[in-house]
Amino acid sequence: MRPEQLHSHIQTKGSFLCVGLDPDPDRIPAFLHENYADPILEFNRRIIAATHDLAVAYKPNLAFYEAQGPKGWETLAATLELIPEGILTIADAKRGDIGNTARRYAAAFFETLGFDAVTVAPYMGRDSVAPFLEFGDKWVFLLALTSNPGAEDFQWYGPQDAPLYKEVVRKAESWAAELPGHLGHVVGATRPGYLAEVRELAPEAFFLVPGVGAQGGDVASVVSHGRNDQIGLLVNSSRGILYAGDGEDFDAAARQAALALQTEMAPHLT
Amino acid sequence: MRPEQLHSHIQTKGSFLCVGLDPDPDRIPAFLHENYADPILEFNRRIIAATHDLAVAYKPNLAFYEAQGPKGWETLAATLELIPEGILTIADAKRGDIGNTARRYAAAFFETLGFDAVTVAPYMGRDSVAPFLEFGDKWVFLLALTSNPGAEDFQWYGPQDAPLYKEVVRKAESWAAELPGHLGHVVGATRPGYLAEVRELAPEAFFLVPGVGAQGGDVASVVSHGRNDQIGLLVNSSRGILYAGDGEDFDAAARQAALALQTEMAPHLT
């Protein structure tokens, strides 16, 4: 998917919502476990059916599938089949390894599974990121400033006016300029003030913004600090949508939670 | 496995060799593709049979299994079954995510698949690493200084006398001191001079050292710069062993390559 297509889908849907598909077997409703051979797939099916008109992206978190072993990867592949055309699919995998290994990961996510995008960790530098950017019309969202408490351990390391996360954004922008793929940055909603600083360094890029809802971030401050002319944001909610309800009508509750976010988003797109 | 058990296995075998199981379908011998339903599993089976008396650890690189889709995870699980008791199994996964996700990855590798150890990336800080250290007798090998060209992009960031990789080692040592799991550091063989600097910061820890062979590092300089009193090293070779031969006797060639490394290692253990 090209960036202008994503911008256009955002305008059409009045939404820049990304729904995180992090299915926790201990939190999905009990009736799914009792009635379905693959309760996680059925959970995802109903979440997608209830939210796909409100979302422009889905982001399965690989850990939740890997925790199920080989069967989890079957569930992941089957989940991707359920996501309608035109919605960006992001593998939240945070991979990062030497070049010959990164090429394998890129093949795993972009070719074997068919994702549009993957999240990548920057620690190992250019040759760990570049192979993901060698696919035209595929996307990398590179970790810049994350939403968790541990972000403070290393992401601010270095001079006060040039912390590590800015160096990551700066270098990554230069790599992306030379390669056919599309690069975005992961910037947590829990640190909205810093969104503006990343926006200065990457005026055109999409930001994937986790941390709204369960982690405490909110849409209005993400938009006011992080938007560009075309919005340039994908705001992710996972637990706040997936576990909005816990009964047989969990999908209706999920839709309400997604609708509440989309309703907050729409006015910023006019 | 406790550290004293690993030290003891190293002494008994006269080896601190870790064999990287990175099976590339394009490089494994053609006859395996022609004769086996799961050629990668058969490749791994023969490599393990040919090298297990010379190695103290095996390190499957997850990318090579993920690139095969769900079937790859079946191959990985079956490969683990082939590794004899008493040999450390390291999932080279380089995961790193927020706490609730890191707990899922830890469950995936330590419980679902049954690995002894996993490689973890430090960028997201303490809560992305700690869940892996909450399992007694399981291991984390945290990326410090990697063997690839891109290591230079961020791992030396910060003041000249306190580059990022040192801050990573320093903080990780303090986390490990509070948690039951065992922590080691990944330090590439291609930068032996820096092994000594990491050793100063982590005198007791095991170092997992990739980059010998195909990437250019050598055993003697790794030992002279990186060892501690008990050696404290796991030196990994992947391509140099796996692809030492390409015919029906590839496993004999792999054994010769592993034996050559073990022969270099043994004198350092007396």
Tens of pLDDT, residue by residue over A115-163, are 999 999 999 999 999 999 999 999 999 999 998 999 999 999 999 999 9
When pLDDT is averaged across residues B4-25 and rounded to a whole number, the result is 97
When pLDDT is averaged across residues B210-231 and rounded to a whole number, the result is 90
Active site residues of B: 94
When pLDDT is averaged across residues A221-241 and rounded to a whole number, the result is 96
Q: Is the pLDDT of residue B267 over 90?
A: yes
User: How far, CA to CA in Å, does A189 sit from each of A94, A98, A260?
Assistant: 18, 30, 17
User: Cβ B121–A63 below 8 Å, yes or no?
Assistant: no
Q: Which among A70, A72, A125 has the least Cβ separation from residue B154?
A: A125
| Mean pLDDT of chain A, nearest integer | 96
Residue pairs spanning A and B at CB distance below 8 A: 190
Above pLDDT 70, what percent of chain A? 100
- Chain A nearest CA to B270, separation (Å): 34
Q: Is the pLDDT of residue B248 over 80?
A: yes
User: Cβ B126–A153 below 8 Å, yes or no?
Assistant: yes
Of A76, A90, A94, which to mutate for an interface test with B (greatest number of B Cβ within 10 Å)?
A94
Q: Which among A113, A126, A153 has the least Cβ separation from residue B153?
A: A126
Report phi then psi at A43, rounded to 5.
Answer: -60, -50
Say which residues have a Cβ less than 8 Å from residue B39's Cβ, sequence separation at least 6: B25, B28, B32, B33
User: pLDDT tens digits, residue range B80-129?
Assistant: 999 999 999 999 999 999 999 999 999 999 999 999 999 999 999 999 99
pLDDT at A185: 98
User: Cβ A124–B68 below 8 Å, yes or no?
Assistant: no
User: pLDDT tens digits, residue range A72-128?
Assistant: 999 999 999 999 999 999 999 999 999 999 999 999 999 999 999 999 999 999 999
Say which residues have a Cβ less than 8 Å from residue A8's Cβ, sequence separation at least 6: none
Q: A270 pLDDT band (50/70/90 cuts)? A: confident
User: pLDDT tens digits, residue range B142-162?
Assistant: 999 998 999 999 999 999 999
- Chain B nearest CA to A106, separation (Å): 8
pLDDT at B213: 77
User: Cβ B69–A22 below 8 Å, yes or no?
Assistant: no
pLDDT at B270: 81
User: Cβ A69–B113 below 8 Å, yes or no?
Assistant: yes
Of A147, A154, A173, which to mutate for an interface test with B (greatest number of B Cβ within 10 Å)?
A154
| CA A21/CA B249 separation, integer angstroms | 46
Q: Are B142 and B186 in contact (CB under 8 A)?
A: yes
pLDDT at A50: 98
User: Cβ A148–B127 below 8 Å, yes or no?
Assistant: yes
Q: A38 pLDDT band (50/70/90 cuts)? A: very high
User: Cβ B98–A147 below 8 Å, yes or no?
Assistant: yes
User: Cβ B94–A99 below 8 Å, yes or no?
Assistant: no
Q: Is the pTM of the predicted complex or chain greater than 0.90?
A: yes
Query: A-chain residues within 8 Å CB-CB of B98?
Result: 146-148, 150, 215
Q: Is the pLDDT of residue B216 over 80?
A: no
User: Cβ A158–B158 below 8 Å, yes or no?
Assistant: yes
> A103 to chain B: nearest residue by CA?
B63
Query: B-chain residues within 8 Å CB-CB of A126?
Result: 149-150, 153
Query: B-chain residues within 8 Å CB-CB of A124?
Result: 94, 121, 143, 146, 148, 150-151
Query: B-chain residues within 8 Å CB-CB of A61?
Result: 97, 101, 104
A190 or B234: which leads in pLDDT: B234
User: How far, CA to CA in Å, does A63 sit from each of A59, A163, B128?
Assistant: 12, 29, 12
Q: Are A186 and A217 in contact (CB under 8 A)?
A: no
pLDDT at B181: 96
Above pLDDT 90, what percent of chain A? 93
For residue B229, give the amino acid letter. Answer: D
User: pLDDT tens digits, residue range B119-145?
Assistant: 999 999 999 999 999 999 999 999 999
Query: B-chain residues within 8 Å CB-CB of A174?
Result: none
| CA A270/CA B169 separation, integer angstroms | 49
Query: B-chain residues within 8 Å CB-CB of A143?
Result: 123-124
Q: What is the 3-class SS of A176-194, one letter each residue?
A: HHHCCCEEEEEECCCCHHH
pLDDT at A138: 98
User: pLDDT tens digits, residue range A51-63?
Assistant: 999 999 999 999 9
Query: B-chain residues within 8 Å CB-CB of A128?
Result: 148, 150
Q: Is the pLDDT of residue A203 over 80?
A: yes
pLDDT at B80: 98
| CA B109/CA B116 separation, integer angstroms | 8
Place of tokens 């002279």: B224
Interface confidence, given as ipTM, is 0.95
| CA B117/CA B59 separation, integer angstroms | 9
- Chain B nearest CA to A167, separation (Å): 8
Q: What is the 3-class SS of chain A, one letter each residue?
A: CCHHHHHHHHHHHCCCEEEEECCCCCCCCHHHHHHCCCHHHHHHHHHHHHHCCCCCEEEEEHHHHHCCCHHHHHHHHHHHHHCCCCCEEEEEEEECCCHHHHHHHHHHHHHHCCCCEEEECCCCCHHHHHHHHHCCCCEEEEEEECCCCCHHHHCCCCCCCCCHHHHHHHHHHHHHHHCCCEEEEEECCCCHHHHHHHHHHCCCCCEEECCECCCCECHHHHHHHHCECCECEEEEECHHHHCCCCCCCHHHHHHHHHHHHHHHHHHHHC
| Mean pLDDT of chain B, nearest integer | 96
What does R_g of chain A's alpha carbons equal in angstroms? 18
User: Cβ B148–A128 below 8 Å, yes or no?
Assistant: yes
Q: Is the pLDDT of residue B215 over 80?
A: no
